[in-house]
Amino acid sequence: MAVGNEGFFERVYCVVSQIPFGRVTSYGAIARYLGSGRSARMVGWAMNQSHSQPLMVPAHRVVNRNGLLTGKHHFGGSELMADLLRSEGVEVVNNHVVNFSKYYWDPASGMPDSGCFPKIM
């Protein structure tokens, strides 16, 4: 992890930990919630590092803006990401969340009142 990314990554992990069971969100939605709308790629880097966190980060619930499981290579390139989503009731076909809008969770409107961290503006 690059020096200086730790704080951002921790905020990402906090948001991801709030994604409800059976729902998904996008890298960009997390970045926008954190006040860094152009940092979707950094959210992806955080997801890549999430396996090293002491607590489980449900990285399988983060997909691209079109519902594609672009992060599946972080799960060994297998069907694990899709299988985890399916186990939560999310319909996945060909590495794509079917009816993405049905399962989409927006942190800007769905975070608990306490949130994780104040947005950085």
**Nearest residue to 76 via CA among 44, 113, 48, 42:** 48
Q: Is the pLDDT of residue 14 over 70?
A: yes
List, in order of start, the domains of the chain with CATH numbers: 11-108 (1.10.10.10)
Kindly state the average pLDDT of the residues 99-113.
88
Could you count the other beta carbons within 10 Å of the beta carbon of residue 95?
14
pLDDT band of residue 75 (cuts 50, 70, 90) is confident
| pTM for the full predicted model | 0.86
Res 78: pLDDT = 78
